[in-house]
Amino acid sequence: MKVIYKITYPNGKIYVGKDLTDSINYFGSADSDLIAKDFTREQRRDFTIRKQILWESELAPDSEVNQKEVQFILKLRSNDPAIGYNRWPKFKAG
């Protein structure tokens, strides 16, 4: 199963990613340093994130999964630094 997922961090910011293997233990490749800047040492001691599957397919080719990932990033604005941790595609303030 191929999936597009959304990770929600305790501060409400999100990260959208894809997983071509549907691993229950995969939480994306967001920039750890970027996320760490938003949390104090104390906040990091008890940290809960939420993973939600937004879309899934057994048959979609990887190219379609890649397109869906970008669509969800843009739709949810997770590439807007005020909203999320995706840094691609580059956010364009409008």
Residue 94 is assigned to a structural domain of this protein: no
* pTM, to two decimals: 0.94
Q: Is the pLDDT of residue 91 over 90?
A: no
Determine the structural domain holding residue 18 and report its residue range: 2-76
pLDDT recorded at residue 92: 85
Q: Which of 92, 81, 78 is nearest to 28 (CA)?
A: 78
Residue 91 is assigned to a structural domain of this protein: no
Average model confidence (pLDDT) for the chain?
95
Residue 50 is assigned to a structural domain of this protein: yes
Mean pLDDT computed over 67-85: 98
CA 10/CA 49 separation, integer angstroms: 6
Pseudo-torsion of CA 30, 93, 73, 14, nearest 10°?
A: 50
In the chain, how many domains are there? 1
